[in-house]
Structure 1
């Protein structure tokens, strides 16, 4: 632990996708006690897997770190054991968080780091499952007062300690407040990789967006995409909108464009943000940009738009085509952590204070997740095994430390790994849908 406030706090962020890297790295900056930019030494680790970010995706996030490397779960645990980190931010899917918590507990370090985790956006599914997989961290961040109450209710409902739940906000909110500009009229649809899932539903949304552009030829209509073909993000995207757009009858109108890049930069020129349930809606609302949540495919838990019940934002393409602009409910906004009232500057105070208090302790208690071989004997071992950990959190036989690979061997290994990833993505985006269609014949 840092011996004084002037000493740099060493932070390690482990992420498994581009969106979680963005959340984790920005969260680390906001919750770590620091007086100057040099008060944090930030080390980045990318958990090796199907969604490991590309160089382009990492650059888009724009977070500078002192080091960044790709690791397995066991390699990360060895790095933690070898290096004296003060804080660890686990920006991972729930199962990976649980595995790393057990792995960290098994290290039995006399002075262990503070462990922080949370969610990258709106929590609209698997609430109990995801939260219990994150139990055991010293700090479980909730992005709003609404989430604080829900998270604590889950932990208390199973008799687990809920003191780790700490209110914060999404760390990537920001940007200038919305100001209309004379002559500018831009509608942006924020696409999601896995919502909706079916070809018919995704084609419907794309078709209506293109029809909106044709109905309003003087309006710029943008389809904001999360990733380029071949890239993966937090969720699998089997039917990229880019591919669907190529096959749309009649082609695309001249005022319609596909765009990539930082969402904040796109919002700088947005006059209406439309989505099904993307976290981009919270970024938009934070800045006061007019925002619409679509009901075209219903209001359903599977879509996540049920989260916006009571927001005043639910509407359809028919109404938007006719000029309707939803007005958000202010009481709903105040509970959702969008901090549109100017309170964002203090949104991380509680989290920063909790981390500071934990750092000041001479010794932290052992990590004690709710799930153990006693409480979840039919569930936990499988989660740990996926990350090559045994039931006690120690590495499984055969996953011992290997010699550092360098030079030509590293180049060859990395090339083979990238080819394997490409084959996997091709299977997900091309082969799997064909097999499913054949099975429906």
Structure 2
């Protein structure tokens, strides 16, 4: 596979505001999986590009996905050309990866494990140099915090949105012996913090930003849609726009089981759709620039809107819970039921919460400076920096070796797949393999 077609050049590659070019002559690979993941990796990649690096872009393929990103999703991610989509193993073997100095990976936990397993199995650590792997977040870390952190723990630089998240990682790491020195608090690096243009004289729309599986249940999503319909009917002079995360033909990290457009067909078969309520795929930032009010359940867009001074509300109809991600916004002062929404609502975001706990206060230098230091260290050594170990973040050394012996990398990054009927490996065979593994470990002891 050729990767030569995905090189891009922009004016940002000249210098940043300070005129520094500390990454001149370096190659940076922005690596993403799904829509927001790729967008964030490109945003971060352009920070390196602004300091002289050459930026290239690739998509890390997810199992079973043949078309992870549509042309529209690529455009929204700041990519206007074709990019390669490859598996972790293929990527790590490629010239694209090996020629990179820094890989900015914004990937889900499964793909992170695939990437580090492939990197660990490669010969890169034995060479004169290897790419540094920095992992950033595509948005708010709403659930499964520690599982996500440990999936990404072998990164050279692991970015956190807020100090509290780093502290949780460091505390968990100390319990099992993971080295937490790769942690860096960077904030949400992709958040646009520019103050929006002065609103037009006419009243802007109420914009609801949908999430595919928050809430996940049909009853909850139907209530959500019905509540927005009531808002539109109660304010016929104001547009109510529902910004869909993806169309029914597009792929996302979490795909909606009950797509709002399907629910709308059923709802509007019984009652007329308000003329001022519409679904849209318009660019999120364009919508925020026009909105009188931004509404969501727990999307990252809420922090982006708050950071830009746009009146924002978190839907409280389903209560506050970790499962919905609404717990993240406790302290923001922005909760409201659907029935209380109005285009006249003010910006009531509590600034101390926004600055200290939301991730809106970005610190790109925490990433850029760390990468510059590690690159210099590698060059002074004259050989590749050692890879951070998979164990104990992925389990004990004994378990990781056992899992790899039983099912290869898939047994580590997706062990649930081994619960399906095994071909050519019976339960007795699995036990025998485990005993052979234990015997091998014992024989290696001094």
| Partner Cα separation in structure 2 for residue 144 and residue 29 of structure 1 | 22
Match of 1:47 among 41, 61, 66: 61
| Partner Cα separation in structure 2 for residue 320 and residue 123 of structure 1 | 26
| Partner Cα separation in structure 2 for residue 326 and residue 135 of structure 1 | 37
Q: Which runs of 5+ in 1 are unaligned?
A: 391-441
| Partner Cα separation in structure 1 for residue 152 and residue 259 of structure 2 | 31
| Per-residue deviation, residues 359-398 of structure 1 (Å, max 9, x unmatched) | 11224122313325626449964682279999xxxxxxxx
1:322/1:26 CA distance change after superposition, 3 Å: closer
| Partner Cα separation in structure 1 for residue 49 and residue 275 of structure 2 | 50
| Per-residue deviation, residues 221-247 of structure 1 (Å, max 9, x unmatched) | 100111111111121111111111122
* CA deviation after TM superposition for structure 1 residue 7, in Å: 3.7
Q: Is the 8 A contact 2:240 2:277 kept in 1?
A: yes
Asked if 1:10 corresponds to 2:27, the answer is: yes
Match of 1:267 among 283, 288, 298: 288
1:352/1:251 CA distance change after superposition, 3 Å: same
Asked if 1:97 corresponds to 2:112, the answer is: yes
Q: Is the 8 A contact 1:173 1:283 kept in 2?
A: yes
SS at match of 2:84: strand
Q: Is the 8 A contact 1:13 1:42 kept in 2?
A: yes
Asked if 1:26 corresponds to 2:43, the answer is: yes
Asked if 1:349 corresponds to 2:368, the answer is: no
Q: Which residue in the other structure is 1:365 paired with? A: 386
| Per-residue deviation, residues 209-262 of structure 1 (Å, max 9, x unmatched) | 011011001111100111111111121111111111122131211111111132
Match of 1:148 among 155, 166, 191: 166
| Per-residue deviation, residues 159-184 of structure 1 (Å, max 9, x unmatched) | 31111111113233226424443222
Q: Is the 8 A contact 2:29 2:97 kept in 1?
A: no
Greater RCO, 1 or 2 (C-alpha within 8 Å, sep 6+): 1
Match of 1:319 among 316, 333, 340: 340
More displaced stretch, 12-21 vs 109-118: 12-21
* CA deviation after TM superposition for structure 1 residue 306, in Å: 0.8
* CA deviation after TM superposition for structure 1 residue 349, in Å: 1.2
| Per-residue deviation, residues 124-158 of structure 1 (Å, max 9, x unmatched) | 21111111111110011112233333332332333
Q: Which residue in the other structure is 1:385 paired with? A: 410
Q: Is the 8 A contact 2:110 2:413 kept in 1?
A: no
| Partner Cα separation in structure 1 for residue 169 and residue 397 of structure 2 | 23
| Partner Cα separation in structure 2 for residue 97 and residue 291 of structure 1 | 33
| Partner Cα separation in structure 1 for residue 73 and residue 287 of structure 2 | 16
Q: Which residue in the other structure is 1:429 paired with? A: none
Match of 1:329 among 350, 373, 380: 350
Instruction: Give the number of equivalent residue pairs.
Output: 378
Q: Which residue in the other structure is 2:18 paired with? A: none
| Per-residue deviation, residues 175-207 of structure 1 (Å, max 9, x unmatched) | 642444322231011100111111111010000
Question: Within 5 Å, which residues of 2 pair with 1:48-87?
Answer: 48-49=62-63, 50=65, 52-63=68-79, 68-79=83-94, 83-87=98-102
Match of 2:213 among 194, 217, 224: 194
SS at match of 2:58: strand
1:175/1:354 CA distance change after superposition, 3 Å: closer
Q: Which residue in the other structure is 2:312 paired with? A: 291
Q: Give the CA RMSD over aligned residues.
A: 2.7
Q: Is the 8 A contact 2:199 2:289 kept in 1?
A: no
| TM-score, length of structure 2 as denominator length | 0.78
More displaced stretch, 85-94 vs 274-283: 85-94
Match of 2:257 among 231, 234, 238: 238
